[in-house]
Each structure stands twice: as C-alpha cells, then as structure tokens.
Structure 1
Amino acid sequence: MLKVKALLGILALSGAASLTLFALKQTDAWAQQQTAAARDPVVVKGEYLARAGDCIACHTAPEGRLFAGGRAMPTPFGTLYTSNITPDPETGIGKWTAEEFYGMMHTGRSRDGGLIYPAMPFASYTKVTREDSDAIYAYLKSVEPVKQLNRPHDLSFPYNNRSLILGWRTLFFSEGEYQPDLSKSAEWNRGAYLVEGLGHCGMCHTPINALGGNSQSDAFKGGLIPMQNWYAPSLTSNKEAGLGDWTIEDISDLLRTGVSKRGAVYGPMAEVTYNSLQYLSDEDTRAMAVYLKGIAQDAAPDVAQPSVPPSEGSLLMSLGKAVYDQRCASCHGTRGEGAPPHYPPLAGNQSIQMQSAVNAIRMVLNGGYPPGTAGNPKPYGMPPFAGVLTDNEVAAVVTYIRTSWSNRGAAISAAEANQLRSAPLN
C-alpha cells in the first residue's frame, strides 16, 4: 500500500516541475511560426489559448524544437519525459483527430485509451470547452512538424505500472467542462475559467496531500512545491499573498507584467508571466484578477509574530544590515521602501514575511531565474548572490529583511541557506 501511495504521490508532484523558462530563443522560435499573410482566425485563437495554457513550458525541452517534447521531469521515483505535440504524423499528433485531442484534454487518456500521468494537468484541462480545445488543436496542427520520437518514461517498478493511475483518478479527478456560476458576473466566470482551467494555477497553489492529490476544500491555499524547491503562497489567505487587500489593478498588473505597486513575481511564477501571462489580453488578466480577488479573504493581513525575534543589536542583525546596505539598498531602499514598480518594496511585503522563508532565501541565492540566460527576462530580475555571500551572510540578510521595518517574519539559520544553495533550480 505504501508503494501505491508513493506512486500516487509522484503523479501530481511531477506536474509541479512543469514550468521552465527557455530564454529568448524559445520566444523567437514561436514567433518564427507566424507568417505575414492573414491567418485562420481559429488558428490565431488557438495560439492565444496555447499561450494561456503555457504549453511551451512542458512540451519544449531546453535547446529543443518548439513543441517537440522530450523535456525531462525528474521525480524521486524516476524521470518522466514530455511528448511531441507537433503535427508530425509518425512521432507527433499528425494523425490525431480533433475528437481524439479533445478526449485527451477532457479525460486524461491518449487516443488509444491509455492512461496519461497527471503531470499533464488534465484535471484542470478537463474544464476547457470543446470549442477552445478544437482551436488549440488547429493551432498545433499549423506549427512546423518535428520528427522526434517520444522518449519512454524512466520510472522504476512499480511506479511504471500505469494501471495504478486509476486509483489516483478515482480519488482526485472529476471530469467535466467548466460550468459558469450564474450568480457571478461574466467577467468573474471568465477569470475562473482561465485560472481553474487552462491556467491550471491550482497545481502549484493548492497543497498536495499524502496521496499526491489535492482537495477542493484546500484549493489555492498554497504550499511547498517539492520538485522545484519554491513555495507557492496561498491565494486565499492574507497571511500570505494577501490578495484580499490588493486592488484589481494591482493583481492584474502583477499577472500581466510581473510587477505592480505591491510587489514582483519571481522563480516559477516569473516563468509563467514570461511564457504565458504577458501575452494575454488586458481583459483576460483583469478577469483573472477579479476572480482571484473574489476568492481571497477581505480581512487585514495577520502575519504571526515570531516567538523569539532577533534583537536589533545582535550579531545576526548587524551582519544582515551590513550585507543589505552593500548589496540591496541601492535598489530596494535604505529602509526597504523600494522603487515601485521596478524594484518592489520589502517593508510590509507579505511575501517576505510568510512562515516559509524558502522564496526569500532562493531570491538572494539565485536572483533572476534562471541564471545563465542572456540578460534577465521580463519581468525584472536581480543578480544571484550565491557566489559572493556565505551561508551565514545569506541567513543574516534574509533575517534582517524579514524582521526589519516592522516586518514580522522569523529569523533563519545558515543551515537553511545551505540546504537551498545546493537545491536544483527546477
């Protein structure tokens, strides 16, 4: 039974590793698919929806061809590899019909009826309408075919037994298109459709339970993303993301550009903005903001006071202030006031004060994500400091930021910094 639970665990956890940035070359590759001539409006719509679904993140490997698959998705139990969804007739979806493509999106089964691992977010994509599925299919059929065989998954026994997916599906999969809430506005329902469906936001922002699934009662309550070593904050609680206290404009700005008066995205969410959300219309990002605002709490933020906050005169705080003044103050201000929207404030920033310090530590260590690209992608990034700061210095500056200017986060240790220093980026 434990082995079955372990398998069920990796099925959803592996989906958390689906967001990867491929730098400017992938955007160029996408752009090269376009032609100067007028295009079929269904194909244009499908391209837009494929952007909304962030299909490129999984189905284009680093240095690989657009949508040719082959991206490795490592798990503790082996590695999954994404599939070729170009219209190549032998190795891609060239022989698939629109009906078969919709069946895969809607039911989580391949055209031969085979079970698909839920690293493919079919539990969200099942909400997509037939019309939108057909448009995405039409777009994918229009891109350049790439002859590239799908690489078999490398999962050890018993995790390679697909029939065990039936147990996961029984517990966590509810098939069906999105049904509008008639008590809500059309704008709210459009936002819900995008957030819950194509956007599959819940795969990161909903905590994963011991069986590798999630409960609707816990939707968007946040949690650690095990395969990525980042923390996805709660979208419902003002103790974390605090969207209930944000304006619609602030949320919409953050989604569309990655920066707003209230903060900036980083890590995996920066990738989502870069690959997907920045291409959505103002109307759609606003609709998503309306929906997210609607599910958030309206109460004022209530960040727990640490039981033993470090004193301002302690060695930890003194070292942290020295590092901050040297490395951080030029952008974020001497008192953490920032220079919005380009440099987010740190004073009063709820993402800095959350119970989990994972994101703050990783931003100091890794900076703009991922490193090694030609400049920082949109949205704005920051340089990595892993190569110039010791574990003690990282712990000190993160503690200083989390506890200064009336911030009420807890102190961190050098051991916590060291643990994340060696963590994989995705």
Structure 2
Amino acid sequence: MTMKRLFLIVLLLLLAVPVVLITKEFVHEPDRDAVGVPITGSAAQVAQGKYLALAGNCMGCHTVRGGAQYAGGRAIATPFGTLYSPNLTQDKTSGLGNWSANDFWRALHNGKSQDGSFLYPAFPYTNYTRMTRPDSDALFAYFKTLTPVAQANRASELRFPYNQRPLMAVWRALYFTPGVQKTDPAKSVTWNRGAYLVEGPGHCSACHSSRTTLGGSSGSLEGGLIPVLNWYAPSLTSSNEAGLGDWQQSHIVDLLQTGISQRSVVFGPMAEVVRGSLQHLSEPDLQAMAEYLKSLPQIDTPSPVPVALDERTRVLGSKLYEKHCVNCHRADGTGIPPNYPPLAGNRAITMDSAINPVRMVLNGGFPPSTHGNPRPYGMPPFAAVLNDEEVAAVVSFTRNAWGHRQAAVTPFEVSRYRAVPGD
C-alpha cells in the first residue's frame, strides 16, 4: 500500500467519525420506549406533577410577567440571540393539547420535539434527561390539567447559523448524553434524593457552571458567569467561592427555603429561583439537597496573593463605607444576620470576580419574599449617588478589609456594569 493511499484511508476515517456521531443524533433516542405510568389524572399524580413543576421552576420561563400561567412567550436572551418559551397549556394548536406522554418524555429525556426536531438547550433537557419516566409522566399529568390558552408560540430570533436547527446535531454530539440519574449505592437514600433534585429537575448546573463559546456546559457546579444576565453564579465546589462544605446543614436549608441565613443572603437570579421554586419544596427534600451540596468535594484553590490597596482608594472607600454601609453591615463587617448579611469573610465579596458586589452597590436589591421571610430587608441602589470611582473604591475597600486581600476594582469595570439593568 502506497503512502498516498494510506493517507487517504486515514483521512476518510477521520472524516467518517464526526459524520457518524452527528448522524446518530438524528436517529438515536435512548430509552424512548421506557415504560410509562398511565396518565390517570388522579389527585396524587397531578399533585406530584405540580410539585415537580415547582422543583424545576417551570413557570419561571414559561410565564410572561402579568400573562397567563404556563402560556409561554417569555424572552430568554442568549449570546446567540433571543428565544421565546413555548406554550405548555392544553391548547391544541399552540400548546400541549395534542401531545402524548411519550412525546413529553421524548422532549425531557432526548431533547426532541413532537416532530423530532432538536430543541434548543435553553430548555434544560441536558438536566431533565436525568428525570425518571414516572416523574415525567406525573409532570405531564399536571400540565394536562392546565386551562387551554390560545397564545401562539413566537419564533426564535437567533442569528445565523444558530437559527438552523439541524446544526444542533453538532452541539448535541459535543455536549449532550441522554441518561437517567444513577443511584449511588454507597450513599444514603437522602443523599441520592438530593443529587437527583440538584442534578435533574433543579438543573442547578444550568447557572453554576462555565460555558464554552458554543454554550456547552460541563454539567459540574464549578461556577460561571450567567450569559447576558451578567451575574456570576459562584462555584459550589470551591472553598473560596460558595463551597458549602463548612456550612451547617441547617444554614443551607434556611438559604434555600427563605433566601436568607446566618451565613449569606441570595440576590439576583438566585432570588427568583428561591421565590418561584425552592421555597415550595418539602423540608425533607431541602434537607436532602443540603446534604448533597454539603458533601460535594471542595476544591481548595490557592489563596490570592495579598494586594496592597493604594492609599487614596483605601481612604475614599473607608469614608464611603462609614457613610453608606456601616449602619447595616457594622464597622467590623459582621452585619446583623440574617437580615443584614456579614461582609467580613463573605465569599461573595472575596471571589476573584467582583461583578456581583459591584452590581449590588449600583442596583441594590432584595432577597425574595418567601413564606419564611415575607417582608425581606433590602439594599438601596447607589448608582445615582456614587460615581464610578466611588463605587470602585467602596467595593475595593470591602475586598481589602477585615483580613480580605483581593484585587481592587477599577472605575472602568464599574462603568461596564452601570448600564446593565438591575433585577
């Protein structure tokens, strides 16, 4: 065999592998014939489905503010353009009225619509694939009880080539593997339940993981910037960010259930998750999630090299902190938890990324109003009170006070996020 012929054979093999992998995405649908549970519409099945809809915060995406519940139409901004959530009511033209339980399972488990077309991963089927068939059927049973709303689905506004659905085969070959959540026999029943909720219906990795340039996620919980929203979802596996290994389990449950705890307070996108989803979960399920999150291996990232804050910034930041912040957060940064969180030792302040504290100073915000905290205390916005240099100074001061040693924030960084709308 000549070298030229050998080269051609190798080249053809190299070309054939991606072709085979991509072609497989069109025809391969694992577990499509998984045995379902009859959709009886019983009170128990519907209640289970409603609970799962809350666990997945389905209404958060599939309801426009002020619109009919689950009728879709909410704009979901992505780096590739804007998508609009579909109608989940029982309307036969625009909703799920003509769908079967098998169609619904196909969407959740394999990321394909009723007609077999690829769904965009803004719908987190990469997580929902972990859900069991009985849970899928219960969720569908609940959606079958929704009053039909005749609201046409709005077409996506994605840029070329992202608006070409067949090209999703490439993305899926790279980033999506269907499969139900596996039980770890070495772990407790409670731990496995927590893992299922966090990795499956709760789809926590949709925010708490980094993204590639094509929007692919590692599926881990190592933290990442939420595209377009410009909030940083901290790592749940890093002791320097939001790693929960040294938290009391009760404090984790408090944070998930009420939005506040002795250790921290949720703001931004996480506040919406707590308000619309987590506060409605049962105490045993919240305990299970807390047990699982607390057990995640903690990555001890290197401590930052101490940064000497220049004297001008330190003095200006100190004066601004004393004027605007000390009443709630105290001179020593200990705060008045749970309503006014501590800043001393607060990882939201000391993370490498300062985007969240910058946005909080600019836009202020409130924790969610929950059953356990119906009248939350909030933080006022300072965008109209402080200029870019002053915001940078006060955030830099908190990142270098009380033993903190993090890089200073520049006025340019503040100016980048001043135009970003608050929550």
Give the 3 Å change call, closer, same or farther, for CA 124–189 of structure 1 in structure 2.
same
Larger Rg: 2
Please give the secondary structure, in 2, of the residue aligned with 1:364.
helix
Equivalent residue for 1:416, pick from 413, 418, 421 = 413
Q: Does the 8 Å CA contact 2:367/2:376 hold for their aligned counterparts?
A: no
Please give the secondary structure, in 2, of the residue aligned with 1:198.
coil
Aligned residues: 378
Query: What is the rounded CA distance, in whole Å, between the counterparts of 1:350 and 1:156 in structure 2?
Result: 37
Instruction: Give 1:74 shift.
Output: 2.4
Q: Does the 8 Å CA contact 2:79/2:227 hold for their aligned counterparts?
A: no
Instruction: Encode CA deviations 1:67-92: one digit per residue, 9 max, x unaligned.
Output: 11111122343221110001112211
- Give the structure 2 partner of residue 238 of structure 1: 239
Query: What is the rounded CA distance, in whole Å, between the counterparts of 2:299 and 2:117 in structure 1?
Result: 45
Give the 3 Å change call, closer, same or farther, for CA 243–349 of structure 1 in structure 2.
same
Query: How high is the sequence identity, in percent, across the aligned residues?
Result: 53
- Give the structure 2 partner of residue 403 of structure 1: 400
**TM-score, length-scaled by structure 1:** 0.85
Please give the secondary structure, in 2, of the residue aligned with 1:246.
coil
Please give the secondary structure, in 2, of the residue aligned with 1:263.
coil
Q: Does the 8 Å CA contact 1:365/1:386 hold for their aligned counterparts?
A: yes
Which structure has more RCO (C-alpha within 8 Å, separation ≥ 6)? 1
- Give the structure 2 partner of residue 159 of structure 1: 162
Please give the secondary structure, in 1, of the residue aligned with 2:357.
helix
**Structural RMSD (CA):** 2.0
- Give the structure 2 partner of residue 290 of structure 1: 291
Letter in 2 for 1:204: C
Letter in 1 for 2:290: A
- Give the structure 2 partner of residue 23 of structure 1: none
- Give the structure 1 partner of residue 151 of structure 2: 148
Instruction: Give 1:257 shift.
Output: 1.2
- Give the structure 1 partner of residue 67 of structure 2: 64
- Give the structure 2 partner of residue 173 of structure 1: 176
Instruction: Give 1:370 shift.
Output: 9.9
Query: What is the rounded CA distance, in whole Å, between the counterparts of 2:176 and 2:80 in structure 1?
Result: 22
Q: Does the 8 Å CA contact 2:266/2:367 hold for their aligned counterparts?
A: no
Equivalent positions of 1:244-393 (< 5 A) are 244-297=245-298, 303-306=303-306, 308-311=307-310, 314-368=311-365, 380-393=377-390
Please give the secondary structure, in 1, of the residue aligned with 2:106.
helix
Letter in 2 for 1:315: R
Query: What is the rounded CA distance, in whole Å, between the counterparts of 2:204 and 2:364 in structure 1?
Result: 23
- Give the structure 2 partner of residue 123 of structure 1: 126
Equivalent residue for 1:209, pick from 209, 212, 222 = 212
Please give the secondary structure, in 1, of the residue aligned with 2:254.
helix
Q: Does the 8 Å CA contact 2:367/2:377 hold for their aligned counterparts?
A: no
Query: What is the rounded CA distance, in whole Å, between the counterparts of 2:230 and 2:204 in structure 1?
Result: 17
Instruction: Encode CA deviations 1:27-80: one digit per residue, 9 max, x unaligned.
Output: xxxxxxxxxxxx812111111110100101110112322111111122343221
Query: What is the rounded CA distance, in whole Å, between the counterparts of 1:76 and 1:270 in structure 2?
Result: 23
Give the 3 Å change call, closer, same or farther, for CA 304–379 of structure 1 in structure 2.
farther
Query: What is the rounded CA distance, in whole Å, between the counterparts of 1:380 and 1:305 in structure 2?
Result: 35
Letter in 2 for 1:140: F
Instruction: Encode CA deviations 1:340-389: one digit per residue, 9 max, x unaligned.
Output: 11111001111110000000101111111699xxxx98754322211221
Q: Does the 8 Å CA contact 1:49/1:136 hold for their aligned counterparts?
A: yes
Query: What is the rounded CA distance, in whole Å, between the counterparts of 1:324 and 1:251 in structure 2?
Result: 29
Instruction: Encode CA deviations 1:102-134: one digit per residue, 9 max, x unaligned.
Output: 111111011111110011000100011111111
Letter in 2 for 1:46: G
Please give the secondary structure, in 1, of the residue aligned with 2:213.
coil
Give the 3 Å change call, closer, same or farther, for CA 341–177 of structure 1 in structure 2.
same
Give the 3 Å change call, closer, same or farther, for CA 132–280 of structure 1 in structure 2.
same
Query: What is the rounded CA distance, in whole Å, between the counterparts of 1:302 and 1:191 in structure 2?
Result: 29
Query: What is the rounded CA distance, in whole Å, between the counterparts of 1:172 and 1:232 in structure 2?
Result: 20
Q: Does the 8 Å CA contact 2:343/2:398 hold for their aligned counterparts?
A: yes
**TM-score, length-scaled by structure 2:** 0.85
Instruction: Give 1:156 shift.
Output: 2.9
Q: Does the 8 Å CA contact 1:365/1:421 hold for their aligned counterparts?
A: yes
Query: What is the rounded CA distance, in whole Å, between the counterparts of 1:265 and 1:288 in structure 2?
Result: 17
- Structure 2: state its 5+ residue gaps: 1-41
Q: Does the 8 Å CA contact 2:94/2:150 hold for their aligned counterparts?
A: yes
Query: What is the rounded CA distance, in whole Å, between the counterparts of 1:126 and 1:187 in structure 2?
Result: 21
Query: What is the rounded CA distance, in whole Å, between the counterparts of 2:194 and 2:375 in structure 1?
Result: 23
- Structure 1: state its 5+ residue gaps: 1-38
